[in-house]
Structure 1
């Protein structure tokens, strides 16, 4: 999530796009983290 936030901030700074890159990449980072947690939970449950 931190990497997504940094990349979004950097893209916004370079392109002048406001907070949209930051918001988008933070959401993508959150989704990737959630997916990772869910995959680990499935492994833990033995499914």
Structure 2
């Protein structure tokens, strides 16, 4: 593993730890829920 790869892993691991596994608040934002609902509605 290169230094850059190690840094990326550590950065994202910490980002997820600090934000309870959802650093971009994907589960909390209304528009993300809407996109999921629309996507699921059009699936066969």
TM range, smaller chain: 0.3 to 0.5
**TM-score normalised over the length of structure 1:** 0.40
Larger Rg: 2
Higher relative contact order by CA 8 Å / sep ≥ 6: 1 or 2?
A: 1
Question: TM-score w.r.t. structure 2 length?
Answer: 0.42
Higher-helix-fraction structure: 1
